[in-house]
Structure 1
Amino acid sequence: MAQQERAKETRRKLLLAAAEVFAEQGFSNATLSEIHTRAGMTKGALYFHFASKEEMAAAVVGQEADWYEEVDQQGPAVQSVIDLTHGYARALIHDVRIRATARLTLEETYGASDGAEYRAWAAMIAELLGEAKKSGDVRPEVDPVAMGEFVVGSFLGTQILSQVLSGRSDLEGRVTALWQALLPGLVVPHRLARFAPGGSARVWEAEEVAPGA
């Protein structure tokens, strides 16, 4: 049992070091030597867990699924979508795993990225918007699947622009501005006040504004 725990800890340290190196240098410039050195591990320890740099990059990207499970999706579905994008924005700033994943998937240099991460994110948003449509929050003409892909695409463009112009220091503000633009075309007018474009305050507890009020 102790040996299994040590193996898990070794893998965790290697993946963290890999995420740091990939986030800083991208896939092409990263070396396995730098990764195992930064992790404080031997080359043999690295190759025990990962056969190649490509396999290690795929494992780093695969950790994004763990992040989604950590996101609190309580409350109305539309607010959950808003909070998901704000949570991802914060993770890009504070979580090296997510920064590495973003760089690896956007650069498409390690050969294993087929857009699965973006499709999964769009599908999650589409499911939430489908729930919101059934509950009457989302406009009847909105296609949840198309809107899910649109939200992902809009967020990606927003975060890339933020990275280029400010090193992502203004990303959360840009995501808020994105939702200020999107919500009026997404949500039925008399329910707009329920949702916070700046992310999670418990605004869904506020009274719903009656139609025509």
Structure 2
Amino acid sequence: MPKQERAVRTRHSLICAAAEAFERYGYVQAKLSDISASAGVSPGALHFHFKSKAAMAATVEASAGAALRREAQLAQRPGVNALQRLTDTSHALAGRLRGDVVARAGYKLSNEAPRGAGPTLHQEWQGCVRRLLAQAFEEALLIEGTEHAVVGDGIVAATTGFELLGREDAAWLSAATLTAFWRLLLPSIARPETLRALHPGDRAVRAGRERSPIG
């Protein structure tokens, strides 16, 4: 195997092993010796790629952020209204968290590990929710009198709670849980004519099958 390819594979193995350790033990309790052993590399090889635990955590968080942003971007389909894009984005991000230990660890590290300037992943999600709800307001999708900033804070609080609870019980991050949340919320904020066209479920998972709108 060429040296460069071997180095890339070693780095990837270390990132995955670090993510598993950070998810299981948290930043403070995770040990570099355990990470190197889990990745099947020597401590020297670990330190060649990462100078410190903080550097390793930063890489895991950056990898998670890139993956989650990519999922969010893919959910922004042209010709789809802002409320549907918000629902789709939440499902896309939850799906990534369910299936990707690096995403889960990075999201957790966002509020645990030492970090530089810039928003946390939680704050990025908050910004995304606020932008899409502001667009929904501009598109006249919301029931008159709906305070979209207040609704946004509620969505962020609820979905952040799902992520936290999902660390102990994966059912909290399931498509069924998120669908039930949107079925409960959307009728209280969307105009009737908007509601009839909205789908609260995970459209990516159900693609090609008949979907049941809310209203």
Normalised-by-shorter TM-score class:
0.7 to 0.9
2:82 partner letter: A
User: Is residue 20–residue 97 contact of structure 1 (8 Å, CA) maintained in 2?
Assistant: yes
Tell me: CA distance 1:152–1:76, structure 2 relative to 1, closer, same or farther (3 Å).
same
Secondary structure of the corresponding residue to residue 196 of structure 2: helix
- Residues 181 and 20 (structure 1 numbering): CA distance in 2 closer, same or farther, change over 3 Å? same
Q: In the alignment, is residue 138 of structure 1 matched against residue 142 of structure 2?
A: yes
Count of aligned pairs between the two proteins: 202
- Find 1:80's aligned residue among 61, 72, 85: 85
Shift in alpha-carbon separation, 1:7–1:77, aligned structure 2, 3 A = farther
Asked whether the 8 Å contact 1:133–1:140 carries over to 2, the reply is: no
Aligned to 2:28: 28
Tell me if the contact between 1:179 and 1:197 (Cα under 8 Å) persists in the aligned partners.
Answer: yes
What is the one-letter code of the residue matched to 2:20?
E
Query: Within 2, Cα distance between the matches of 1:66 and 1:42?
Result: 28
The alignment status of 1:197 with 2:200, answered yes or no, reads yes
Deviation readout 1:53-78 (Å, 9 max, x if unpaired): 12211211122222221342213321
Tell me the TM-score normalised to structure 1 length.
0.79
Identity of aligned residues (%): 31
Change (3 A) 1:163 1:52: closer
Mapped contact 2:163–2:172 kept (Cα < 8 A): no
- Where does structure 1 lack aligned partners over 5 or more consecutive residues? none
SS of residue in 2 equivalent to 1:194: coil
CA gap of 1:118–1:193, structure 2 versus 1, over 3 A, is same
Residue 121 of structure 1: aligned partner: 125
The whole-number CA distance in structure 2 between the counterparts of 1:8 and 1:149 is: 40
1:22·1:104 contact (CA, 8 Å) conserved in 2? yes
Query: Aligned equivalents of 2:202 and 2:52: distance in 1?
Result: 40
Equivalent in the alignment of 2:39: 39
| Distance across 2 between alignment mates of 1:163 and 1:49 | 28
Tell me the equivalent position of 2:181.
178
Match of 2:71 in 1: 70
The CA deviation at 1:162 is 4.7
Equivalent residue for 1:48?
48
Which residue of 2 is the match for residue 100 of structure 1? 105
What 5-or-longer segments of structure 2 have no aligned partner?
Answer: none
CA, structure 1 residues 127+29, in 2 after alignment: closer, same or farther (shift >3 Å)? Answer: same
RMSD: 2.9
Seen in structure 2, the aligned counterparts of structure 1 residues 89 and 44 have a Cα distance that, compared at 3 Å, is: same
